[in-house]
Amino acid sequence: MGVVYLAEDTHLARRVAIKFLSSLDHHYRARFLREARAVSALSHANIAAVYDYGETDDAKPYIVMELVQGQTLGQLLEDESLTLARSVQIVSSIAEALGEAHHQGIVHRDVKPSNVVITERGQVKVLDFGLVKQIFKSAINDTDASAQTLFSTHTRSDVIVGTPLYFSPEQATGKPVDGRSDLFALGALLYECIAGRSAFSGSSVIEIGAQVIHVEPPPPSRSNPRISPELDRITMKALAKKPEARYQSAEEMLGDLRPVLVTVSSDNHSTPLRSTRSTSSSPPLPTSTLITLTETLRRPRLSLGTFIIAILAISLAGWAILRFWKPAPYVPSPVAIDWHHKGTEAMRNGAFLQATLALKQAIRADDKFALAHARLAEAWTELDYADEAKNEMLRVAELAPDRSRLPRVDALYLEAIHAAVTGDFPSSVKAYSEIVRLSPKESHAYFDLGRAHEKNDDTKKAIVSY
């Protein structure tokens, strides 16, 4: 929708962020104007302030915003640096910001980790009200030339906008939304922070939407036993399917969160996602070949003829080994294989952040596991972390320079994943098709092929595979 630049306000001598609209579509221009007007009406410590808005000489609309420096909540989740207490504290601050917005008649509609920044001083800021909906339509001022444009292109309640993992059921079904929809998204965000996994998952918007509408996620304490029954209750109440069963206001949710925050802060709860590195395995036992040869040479001498025959036999055996023998493929440790299976399953469920965490554990357990590095590259690609994906694929190239030495299916998986990461989806389809041919009874092979078809814009074949 837009591009943001670091800038300096030459009048007030302060650094600011200027957001320019990158599309000239009139719907986007109207939404851009809504963002500026809506946020400029808000004044709260947890909301990024709008200082000014207007158009350049060549009719490009812009917004001058408070420069917020720090890490997004998504980055903190990825770094596994959140404690339980800090998670509750951050969600409480977001609730305060939403409470102010709802009080002004504004629904955010896109509450998600990347729209929350924690500054270097630890202050929480909610950003990007680009999908806001104003509940209360104030009277239009006839002297404001742009006001009629704002309300004539008002965001419709029955248009699905937002981010699928944080949709409310009413958003997913295109029904009218109010502040309780933001509180559902906040509940999903709280769930992810304290449980270490998303409340919902799926490989497409349709699958995620179906879970949001029909599936009750397990209580977060199933994933993190340190979560108290009260925090379980708060999270699940925020995620209630029916709006009337949820918190009716941000203030009500805050009233329940504050006592929990006191409890978890005093208990000094540590990070729910952190795990210790696997200890290195014992070094391999030395081979006994040299010992056997030494013992043989220590035996009494044989006749010259027998010795010549033995030399010829050894030479022939050596030639055969060099000609036909290939080293056995590398076998990862059982712990690494288990984490790899968990990460791959998360990938297939569309829980890409969860997949990266599991695959990192697989690599920590066994850094020579090439397929785990490849799957991690695929997960990074899904999350738009191109540099991390490239680094993982370079590591794969180091570990498996000659794929012909690998089992056929493993080599095909590396080929398919490499093609997907580099955007060569037809080649990815070809490799996965061969995997299906070799493993016709493996359901996950058809699922991977379906994803490859989907990325190759071949919906019909994707549906057949699924």
Does residue 310 surpass a pLDDT of 90? no
What is the three-class DSSP state of 257?
helix
Mean pLDDT within 156-182: 76
How big is the CA angle at 287 (ends 284 and 293), to the nearest 5 degrees? 170
- Percent of the chain at pLDDT > 70 equals 79
pLDDT band at 321 (very low <50, low <70, confident <90, very high): low
Active site residue 110: yes
**Chain mean pLDDT for the chain:** 80
State the pLDDT at residue 373. Answer: 93
Mean pLDDT within 161-172: 79
Does residue 259 surpass a pLDDT of 60? yes
Q: Walk me through the domains of the chain, giving residue ranges and CATH numbers.
A: 2-66 (3.30.200.20), 70-129+162-267 (1.10.510.10), 334-465 (1.25.40.10)
State the pLDDT at residue 138. Answer: 40
Does residue 92 surpass a pLDDT of 80? yes
Torsion 354-355-360-363 (CA) sign: positive
pLDDT band at 386 (very low <50, low <70, confident <90, very high): confident
CA separation for the pair 87, 310 (Å, rounded): 72
pLDDT band at 35 (very low <50, low <70, confident <90, very high): low
State the pLDDT at residue 236. Answer: 96
State the pLDDT at residue 323. Answer: 53
Among 169-173, 302-306, 410-414, 443-447, the range scoring the smallest mean pLDDT is 302-306
State the pLDDT at residue 298. Answer: 47
CB-based contact 36:50 (threshold 8 Å): yes
CB-based contact 19:63 (threshold 8 Å): yes
pLDDT band at 172 (very low <50, low <70, confident <90, very high): confident
State the pLDDT at residue 24. Answer: 66
CA separation for the pair 417, 411 (Å, rounded): 10
Among 136-150, 295-309, 359-373, 412-426, the range scoring the smallest mean pLDDT is 136-150
Among 74-78, 201-205, 219-223, the range scoring the smallest mean pLDDT is 201-205
Does residue 265 surpass a pLDDT of 90? no
DSSP 286-312: PPSHHHHHHHHHTSPPPPHHHHHHHHH
Mean pLDDT within 264-281: 48
3-state helix, strand, coil in the chain (%, to 5): 55, 10, 35
Catalytic residue selected from 9, 110, 384, 448: 110
Own/partner pairs, 221-229, CB within 8 angstroms, 24+ separation: 222/195, 223/195, 223/196, 223/197, 223/272, 224/84, 224/194, 224/195, 224/196, 224/272, 226/84, 226/269, 226/272, 227/84, 227/194, 227/195, 227/272, 228/260, 228/263, 228/264
Q: Are β-strands 124-126 and 116-119 bridged in parallel, bridged antiparallel, or unpaired?
A: antiparallel
Among 23-32, 76-85, 126-135, the range scoring the smallest mean pLDDT is 126-135
Torsion 358-77-399-286 (CA) sign: negative
DSSP 34-61: HHHHHHHT---TTBPPEEEEEE-TTS-E
State the pLDDT at residue 320. Answer: 64
Does residue 462 surpass a pLDDT of 70? yes
More confident residue, 270 or 38: 38
Output the six-digit token pair for 338.
Answer: 């288990």
More confident residue, 55 or 422: 422
